[in-house]
């Protein structure tokens, strides 16, 4: 493997500017790496080699003329396959969209292009984002680069694996209930789920729109902050995007944490946490304490309901959003039908995988007459409760520290038999989606089997810069990012 593939996006930016190598050379190096290792890893669904090289050449030309679009002009990226890329397959890892080529790009992708960042290809995931291991992809399983018998996590498994396998310096994923943070943690990378509305969802294929955000997966905290700064901002195409002005999220990295109040919600330290993960969180707590922060235990009482509320709300929204896939205008249309009603049913039965159908059925149940009050409405009530609990906590604490997942990456096939068991792995991640607050996942040492272990930092709305500042302190103490 070429040495330069080990470098982060920021150092690529410096080298491109210094003329040490061109964007074309850099892009070709990543494409060669993908060619060489992705057969085993399975991070990519589509590699857009020709387009990437053409964009790289255009970037080199701009730089030559002194017209670089920003410091990251010419740096490659890879993008999760539920984020629309104009003219390039966007499958959501579903048979339903196996040949779907969107006529427009997501706003986040347009923002990358405006910064001169070029797309290497599209990354594998659990179908429509439903899953936590990338075993629910209709096309292939993504393997963990640290141990290929283990999962990369999910649903943005391809995003985390591509970064860990040096197939891309950074990537864009999406997080509905931990789908950026958990795979990042399984693959030793940094993942951010920003405040609800920070990043436009226009062009993100909807699974559960009231919960999800597009988010960066990177080798280290600083790259993550820089990538979020590029993709964040108000957008006329997403009415829920926040109009809070542009921000440089890396601005507080390097500041110390003296006097910061860190809370550890005891409800997020459940009995099923592995020793390795538990040790990682305790080590992060110790690092912050040694750096002058005040770390104490606290309580998030509603956490025990958050997971149930998450599965009810996300499935309800999925059942409604995925109703658009009827086989008529685009997506998979069945040849096996008699009458329009059967056409819809066959198209959907053939196009969707088992987990997607299960969630649609569950959501239909939660929204159906007789059960709506008891499930969907209650779940919305719990959302208010969780949000209020967090607000109370953030009066006393600046940030909250918790595990990301109860264990390190598990073996492929280990959890596919029992959906409820797989769902409980999301417990620590979903509260941030439920409340719309930002949460950062970053590595902190090694857990069982030599696999990376991660910790999560949560903050109040719009506190991303603080999370990056605190994350960087942990990262520095651990010897810097990947």
Binding site for other proteins (CB under 8 A): 99-104, 196-197, 210-211, 234, 236, 238-243, 302, 304-305, 308-309, 311-312, 319, 323, 326, 328-330, 333, 337, 339-341, 343-346, 348-349, 352, 354, 357-358, 360-362, 364-366, 368, 374-375, 377-385, 387, 419-420, 423, 436, 461
Residue 438 contacts residue 193 (beta carbons within 8 Å): yes
Task: Give the residue with the Cβ less far from other proteins, 69 or 234.
Answer: 234
Task: Give the residue with the Cβ less far from other proteins, 196 or 468.
Answer: 196
Select which of 59, 155, 347, 405 is catalytic.
155
> Nearest approach, Cβ of 242 to other proteins (angstroms)?
7
Task: Give the residue with the Cβ less far from other proteins, 261 or 392.
Answer: 392
Residue 78 contacts residue 121 (beta carbons within 8 Å): yes
Give dist(CA 16, CA 305) in Å, integer.
49
* Strand 147-151 to 143-144 pairing: antiparallel
Is 392 assigned a catalytic role? no
Given its phi and psi angles, is residue 23 left (phi above 0), alpha (psi -120 to 50 degrees) or beta?
alpha
Structure tokens at 101: 């080529």
> Nearest approach, Cβ of 135 to other proteins (angstroms)?
15
Task: Give the residue with the Cβ less far from other proteins, 141 or 234.
Answer: 234
Q: How many CB atoms lie within 10 A of CB 330?
A: 16
User: Which residues have a Cβ under 8 Å from the Cβ of 147 and sit 6 or more positions away?
Assistant: 409, 449, 450, 451
> Nearest approach, Cβ of 273 to other proteins (angstroms)?
19
DSSP conformation class of 88: B
Helix (H) or strand (E) holding 439: strand 439-446
Burial (CB count within 10 angstroms: exposed 0-12, middle 13-18, buried 19+), residue 284 = buried
Select which of 15, 105, 156, 179 is catalytic.
179
Task: Give the residue with the Cβ less far from other proteins, 144 or 302.
Answer: 302
Task: Give the residue with the Cβ less far from other proteins, 69 or 380.
Answer: 380
Q: Where are the alpha helices (DSSP H) in 156-302?
A: 157-164, 181-186, 221-231, 275-290
> Nearest approach, Cβ of 99 to other proteins (angstroms)?
8
Select which of 15, 80, 229, 346 is catalytic.
80
Sign for the pseudo-dihedral over CA of 352, 132, 204, 363: positive
- Nearest C-alpha neighbor of 390 from the set 305, 302, 270: 302
> Nearest approach, Cβ of 87 to other proteins (angstroms)?
9
- Per-position DSSP letters for 353-371, written without gaps between them: -HHHHHHHHHHHHHHSTTT
> Nearest approach, Cβ of 392 to other proteins (angstroms)?
15
Residue 1 contacts residue 164 (beta carbons within 8 Å): no
> Nearest approach, Cβ of 94 to other proteins (angstroms)?
14
Is 179 assigned a catalytic role? yes
| Angle subtended at Cα 152 by Cα 205 and Cα 132, rounded to the nearest 5 degrees | 50
Task: Give the residue with the Cβ less far from other proteins, 149 or 368.
Answer: 368
> Nearest approach, Cβ of 130 to other proteins (angstroms)?
13
- Beta bridge partners, 175, equal 213
Residue 461 contacts residue 394 (beta carbons within 8 Å): no
CA torsion, points 372, 376, 382, 386, in degrees to nearest 10?
-170
> Nearest approach, Cβ of 89 to other proteins (angstroms)?
11
The helix/strand/coil state of 217 is: strand
Task: Give the residue with the Cβ less far from other proteins, 221 or 435.
Answer: 435
* Strand 76-80 to 190-193 pairing: unpaired
Give dist(CA 329, CA 294) in Å, integer.
57
Task: Give the residue with the Cβ less far from other proteins, 42 or 203.
Answer: 203
Give dist(CA 128, CA 323) in Å, integer.
13
The residues annotated with a catalytic role in the active site are 80, 155, 179
């Amino acid at each position: 493997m070429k040495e330069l593939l080990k470098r982060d996006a920021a150092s690529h930016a410096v080298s491109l500017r210094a003329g040490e190598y061109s964007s074309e050379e850099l892009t070709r190096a990543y494409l060669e790496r993908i060619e060489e290792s992705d057969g085993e890893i399975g991070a990519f669904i589509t590699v857009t080699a020709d387009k990437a090289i053409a964009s790289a050449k255009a970037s080199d030309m701009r730089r030559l003329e002194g017209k670089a679009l920003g410091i990251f002009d010419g740096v490659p990226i890879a993008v999760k396959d539920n984020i629309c890329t104009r003219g390039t397959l966007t499958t959501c890892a579903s048979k339903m969209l196996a040949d779907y080529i969107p006529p427009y790009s997501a706003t986040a992708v347009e923002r990358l292009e405006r910064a001169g960042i070029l797309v290497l290809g599209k990354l594998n995931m659990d179908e429509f984002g439903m899953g936590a291991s990338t075993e629910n992809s209709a096309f292939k399983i993504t393997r963990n680069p640290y141990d290929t018998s283990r999962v990369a996590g999910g649903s943005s498994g391809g995003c985390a694996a591509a970064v860990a396998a040096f197939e891309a310096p950074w990537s864009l994923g999406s997080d509905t209930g931990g789908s950026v943070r958990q795979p990042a943690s399984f693959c030793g990378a940094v993942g951010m789920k920003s405040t609800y509305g920070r990043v436009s969802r226009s062009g993100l294929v909807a699974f559960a729109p009231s919960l999800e955000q597009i988010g960066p997966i990177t080798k280290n905290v600083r790259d993550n902050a820089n990538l979020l700064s590029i993709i964040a901002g108000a957008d006329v195409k997403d009415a829920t995007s926040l109009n809070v002005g542009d921000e440089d999220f890396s601005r507080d990295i390097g500041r110390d944490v003296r006097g910061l109040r860190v809370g550890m919600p005891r409800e997020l330290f459940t009995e099923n946490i592995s020793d390795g993960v538990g040790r990682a969180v305790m080590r992060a707590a110790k690092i912050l304490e040694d750096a002058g922060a005040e770390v104490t235990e606290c309580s998030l009482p509603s956490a025990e309901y958050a997971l149930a509320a998450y599965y009810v709300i996300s499935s309800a929204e999925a059942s409604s959003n995925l109703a658009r896939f009827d086989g008529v205008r685009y997506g998979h249309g069945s040849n096996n039908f008699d009458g329009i009603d059967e056409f819809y049913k066959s198209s959907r039965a053939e196009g969707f995988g088992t987990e997607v159908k299960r969630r649609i059925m569950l959501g239909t149940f939660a929204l159906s007459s007789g059960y709506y009050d008891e499930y969907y409405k209650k779940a919305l009530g719990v959302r208010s409760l969780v949000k209020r609990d967090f607000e109370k906590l953030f009066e006393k604490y600046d940030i909250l520290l918790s595990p990301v997942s109860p264990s390190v990456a598990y073996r492929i096939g280990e959890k596919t038999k029992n959906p409820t068991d797989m769902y409980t792995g999301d417990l620590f991640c979903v509260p941030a989606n439920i409340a719309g607050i930002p949460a950062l996942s970053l590595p902190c040492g090694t857990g069982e089997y030599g696999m990376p272990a991660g910790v999560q930092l949560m903050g109040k709305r719009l506190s991303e810069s603080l999370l990056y500042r605190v994350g960087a302190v942990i990262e520095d103490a651990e010897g810097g990012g990947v």
